[in-house]
Amino acid sequence: MTEDLASYADLDLDRTRRRGYPEAVYCAGKTAEQVTGIAAALAEHAGGVTLFTRASTEHAQAVLAALPDAFHDPVAQLLAWPPLPPEPTGERVVVVAAGTSDLPVAREAALTAQYLGRATDLIVDVGVAGLHRILGHVELLRQARVVVVVAGMDGALPGVVAGLISAPVVAVPTSVGYGAAFEGLAALLTMLNSCAPGVAVVNIDNGYGAGHLAAQITAA
C-alpha cells in the first residue's frame, strides 16, 4: 500500500522560480518508499534538474525505480535527473580536496555545481603538509571566481588558499581524522577562525551546500 504523497511531503516546486535553483531531496531519514514517491512526483513537475543527496544504496534504488535513467554517483551518494547537467553558464568553479579521504565530499560539491549549471575543475590531495603541491596550482586558483576547498583533520587548507587569491573560498570541513578531530569539529573551527579573510564556511561534510553556494556566487 502506497501512502499519499501529501501525507509525508509538500514539495517546494516554487523554488526554481523563487530562487533560480530547484529543491534537492535530502534522502537521509526518509524511507525508500517516500523517496520513490517524491521522485515520481518531481518527474512530473520539475522544470530543471533535481538532485537527491545523502542517498544510500537503498535510496538510490528507490530513485532509480521512478527515474530509471537518473545519473548516480555512489561515492558522492548523489543522484541527478535528468541525467545530463545543463550547458554551463556563469563562471568556473574550482574544487580542491586536501586529501584523498576528502574526495567523496569534494565530488558531491563539484557535481552539484555542474548540475546547477557551472563548469568545474577538481584538484586533489594538496594538503598543507606538503605546501608545494597547492602552490603548484596557484595560477589556476587565481583565475577562479570561487574556490571550494574541502579538508578534514586540521582544516588548514582553505585559509591558506584564501590568503593567495582574490576570489572567495567556500570551505567544507570533513569528518576525516583522529579522535580530537571530533568528527569534523576541529576543521570546522579552524575554517571559521581563518586568519585570512574571505572564507565562507558550510556544514561538516556538506558538499551539496558548498556546490550550491559556489554556483550562486558564480551565477551569470
Ligand X SMILES: Nc1ncnc2c1ncn2[C@@H]1O[C@H](COP(=O)(O)O)[C@@H](O)[C@H]1O
Considering only residues 93 to 122 of the shown chain, the ones binding a copy of itself according to CB under 8 A are: 98-103
Considering only residues 42 to 61 of the shown chain, the ones binding ligand X according to CB under 6 A are: 53
Is position 8 an interface residue for ligand X (rule: CB under 6 A)? Answer: no
Q: How far is the CB of 34 from a copy of itself (least distance, A)?
A: 6
Nearer to Mg ion, 37 or 99 (CB): 99
- Residue 64's SS3 state is helix
Cell readout for 171 is 570551505
How big is the chain by its Cα radius of gyration, in Å? Answer: 18
- Strand pairing class (146-151; 169-173): parallel
Cell readout for 187 is 576543521
Q: How far is the CB of 133 from a copy of itself (least distance, A)?
A: 5
- Residue 52's SS3 state is strand
- Residue 147's SS3 state is strand
Query: Scanning the structure block, which residue is given the C-alpha cell 533535481?
Result: 50
Which amino acid would we find at residue 45?
H
Considering only residues 81 to 140 of the shown chain, the ones binding ligand X according to CB under 6 A are: 99-101, 125, 127, 129
How far apart (Å, rounded) are the C-alpha atoms in residues 150 and 155?
8
Neighbouring C-beta atoms of residue 206, cutoff 10 Å = 22
Considering only residues 142 to 171 of the shown chain, the ones binding a copy of itself according to CB under 8 A are: 152-156, 159-160, 162-168, 170
Q: CB under 5 A: which stretch of 101-109, 117-125, 193-201, 204-212 binds Mg ion?
A: 117-125
Cell readout for 92 is 568556473
CA 51 to chain centre: 11
Among 41, 43, 66, 124, binds a copy of itself (CB under 8 A): 124
List the single partner that 2 binds among Mg ion, a copy of itself, ligand X, none, CB under 5 to 8 Å by kind: none
Cβ-contact 56, 23 below 8 angstroms: no
Q: How far is the CB of 82 from ligand X (least distance, A)?
A: 18
Q: Tell me, residue by residue from 76 to 115, as one string, x for binding to Mg ion by CB under 5 A and - for no binding.
A: -----------------------x----------------
Residues in touch with ligand X (CB under 6 A): 12, 23-26, 53, 99-101, 125, 127, 129, 195, 197, 206, 208-209
